Structure 1
Amino acid sequence: MDLSRRYRSTYLVLLIFPYLCIMYSYFFKSSSINNLTQTKQLSPSLKTTYTGRVLVIYVWANTDVQSLGNLQFFIRYGVHPSQPADYYFILQQVNKKPVNESGLPKLPSNAHYIQ
C-alpha cells in the first residue's frame, strides 16, 4: 500500500500547519498591530513636508525625423505654466555640435533647456 494514501491526513497537516502558523503570527500578534498604528501616526507628519511640485526631465537629441515633432507635441500639450511642476529639457549634442535653441519651441517660465 502506498504511504501517501495511507497517511493522507498527516501529509495535509504537515503542508497546511506551517502556513497557518505564519498567518497567525502575522495577523494576530500585537507587534504587527502596533506597527500598523505607528505607520498611521507618521502619515500626517509626512504630508506637511510635501511641497506638491513635480520634477520632469526630458532628454532630447535630434537623431530622428520625428524627434522634433515629439518634443513640440510634448511642450504644446504637456507643459503649462500653471502646473506645479519644473521641466528641464536636456539637449544632447549630435556629432559634438551644440543644439540651436532658436529652432526649438518657446518654453514657459517653469521650463528650461540645458545643454
Structure 2
Amino acid sequence: MHLDRQHYYSLEGLPEKLHTGLSKGVDLARQIAYSKGNHLICRISRVVGCYFILLLTLPFTLMGTLVHRIFREKSIKLFQTRIRTMGKIFYDYKKGDSRLMTDTQDLITTLIKTQAGRRMPV
C-alpha cells in the first residue's frame, strides 16, 4: 500500500491537545535548526553548536601552530649555521689564506646545487 507522504506526516485528524503539542515541537525544532528563538533549548543548542565547531577546529589549529613553530625554529637554526659558516669562510679568505679560495668556491657550488635540487631537479 502506497501512502501519500504529505498525508502520512500531516497533523490532521489528531486530537487538539496532541496537535498543539506537536506543532509547538515542530516550531521549536525549526527555531533550533535556524538558530533562532529565545527558549532555553535554543540557547543551549547555539552554545553547544559553537563549542562543537570550536572543538572540531581546535586540534587542527594547534597542530598547525606547532608544526609552523618547529619548522620556523629549524629554518632559523639552519640559516644561522649557514651564515656563521659563510662568514667564517669569507673572513678567513679576506685574511689572505689562498687555499680557502677553492674550498669556498666548492662549498658555494655545493650549496647552490643542493638548494636547486630541493626546488627542482637538476
- TM (normalized to structure 1)? 0.31
Higher relative contact order (CA 8 A, sep 6+): 1
Q: Which has the higher strand share?
A: 1
Q: Which has the higher helix share?
A: 2
